[in-house]
Structure 1
Amino acid sequence: MTDIAQEMENMSIKEEDKLGTGDDDFIVNPWEVVSTSATGVDYDKLIKRFGSTKIDDALIERMERVTGKPVHHLLRRGKFFSQRDMHSILDMYEQKKPFYLYTGRGPSSDAMHMGHLIPFIFTKWLQDTFDVPLVIQLTDDEKYLWKDLTLEQANHMAIENAKDIIACGFDIEKTFIFSDLDFISNSPAFYRNMCRVQKLVTYNQVKGIFGFGDSDCIGKISFPAIQASPSFSSSFPEIFNGRSDIPCLIPCAIDQDPYFRMTRDVAPRMNCLKPALIHSTFFPALQGAQTKMSASDPTTSIFVTDSDKQIKDKINKYAFSGGGATVEEHKEKGGNCDVDVAFQYMTFFMESDERLEEIKKTYTSGELLTGFLKKELIEILQKLIGEHRQRRTTITDEVVRQYMTPRKLKFDYPPPTPPSEKKKKKKHKNTKAV
């Protein structure tokens, strides 16, 4: 690439991918989500800012057609709302060609909260629906670099979070979970891809994309290459039999998209495939949609380890209400489902569209009171978390070790064709055509 072409490439990345901060009424980046609106982030604006594509009815209909199954309610209700190259993934599936899933978790507490659970609930549906392998990255190195933690503390939280993830029910024969701190030093293929990404991204680019400053440690600046590397099948020769041509689909929250815009830019220059993405909205804090749940503030979050009493107390005490100030006012004016946290949580976890629509209608009219709305949500979450808590008790250290051991998963990937064989096949094909 010439100096002029390289300069143009640098400018295009910086202008398209830098994180907006001042002009809109919200901030979204991998470390911060804040909105001044009571209804939260404007996702249509965010799609325009990030340059992704909105999931439309045509894509949902195609997914149902090619899989022969109804889509997950999180997709149907727009909780997964944005995508990059999903049609290419569906093309692969229709042609019976392989792809894999990649998602991750940055462990910042011993237990995950409900917001962390959303991508894993949907990822399990994707794995079950498309019958594909899955790699899950635990970025304990990232948390060490960003937070006041020791390496041992960050790694411990990664193992504890792995238990929460496994309790979602992922198939052990098709799922590989890895901690960056444990895995990378023993994986030459992964490290090579890290180095290749690092060489192709300049400091100006990474500063423009992620907003790094001169006082940030160099570990932060190099970390995006670590999160990019699982996007390439060549990073996992044990799983994919040394092949570098298996495409990847990444389900994640939209705040992680900057990592993969960078990844999609460098992939062609590495002779690798661009990862496809499907993005979720944010799971609001109990106090309202202006921010997402925080693992560091237990009053904003409901954790998968919370007891039935803790769930009830948190919903009743902290969940922001869209109802009237008094019963009389509520009955007269009705409730606002757009800002009511209990209703918003139901849109994530209540499976019945009919029941959800009935609740929306009666709450908006004022017939259903806030107390009854919260009571129904409490019952849903107590059941969901109770079942998860029970499954988690069966996850031993040995089970975690099995998921985190690099190995061939239950999929048949023939080894890549040697270059000499490709030439022979091409020559034979040309001769046959003559």
Structure 2
Amino acid sequence: MSLFEQHESNVRGYIRSFPAIFDTATSATIVDIEGKRYIDFFGGAGSLNYGHNHPLINQALINYIQRNGITNALDKATVAKHDFISAFQSIILAPRHMDYKIQFVGPTGANGVETALKLARKMKQRSNVIAFTNAYHGHSLGALAVTGNEFYHDDYYGVPRNVNKMPYDNYFDHDMDSVDMLRHYLADGSSGYDLPAAVIVESIQGEGGINVASVAWLQKLSELCKEMDILLIMDEIQVGNGRTGDFFSFERANIQPDIITLSKSVGTGMPMSIVLMKPDVDVWSPGEHTGTFRGNSYAFVAGSAALELWRNDDFSRSIRAKGEQVEQAFRRLQARYPGWISDVRGLGMIWGLESLVEGFCNEVSKQAFERGLMMETAGASDQVLKFLGPLVISETELEEGFEILDDAMAAAVEQYQQAGKAPLSA
């Protein structure tokens, strides 16, 4: 590890949480250079929904490389891109009666968010955007402007100020509807809220702490946008691609946003980001928004192979069944450690264990890694242990991970108690 400390920038993050040199991986099991196994509840921060080295994806890539397929073609036409568009239209969009154009943007989720914001502002000829508390949309300047966590903000970056923040669903403990609040602000000419070009929102906030918006709230927000001529942008970068059991996390609300951003697992972990837009929103001129790496053929090939898993409902059913398994295990942990775990929340295969004990979740994550489980934290204060394991994780891997997590939690509790830091209710 000394080589990384000596030569890699101080900005490195996950290497500090998971200090090992990893070598091989299959499904949801990773092995380091010492031969130690780790169960993966981290899932590449949502980029590995289809697991490590899925055989269908690997074989598709091997075949493509062996026949000398085009690697990067920018936005030229290739067989790889043709096949991906065809699969995405026939397997994902058409069965859901979704009519969207596809824009391939350069290779990160933040690129997708930047593109969506730029497009919305161009179409509506308005600069203001509404975002939400605890939102996370990426680290480039426009994406930072709509990200909530102050840790990522700094005036020296020149983060744009043409963004208004509103409370996310259930942000307040008491009964207050933030969509009604937004409506009031926008209707009041003296509120200081200019009519926005767009509202950008996650249906489940992952980095923000596993906050799940209700169906009613999402539907009400969608209706407000239609009524006031505002574009609705759904950020599906982390919670889309099947994470909730449906391919899109907003499907449960039966809404169709104007713009959708997808990245992470859409390329199965290889760099790929796309923006879906309703045809009337596609107001770009040729070449107006570009990017060298918007034609990553390996990601197209891998993504096409992964989409085959969505040909029928079997994959969705398995995701929901495993999600129930995760929820049950987490609720058992909450019951076993009262006072240490204050809440369990999530949907499908994204779940969080929240603790009000300062630093507890970070300690559990550390203890878990030492025992062979990778699991990160989320929330403004790292107060949530976050499950984001691959959707293809086996029941055996799940159960092994739960056992390690239980042991890690017991060790963290013991350490806190010895230090006299036990919560009053524990």
Point out the structure with the larger helix share: 1
TM-score (structure 2 length as normaliser): 0.27
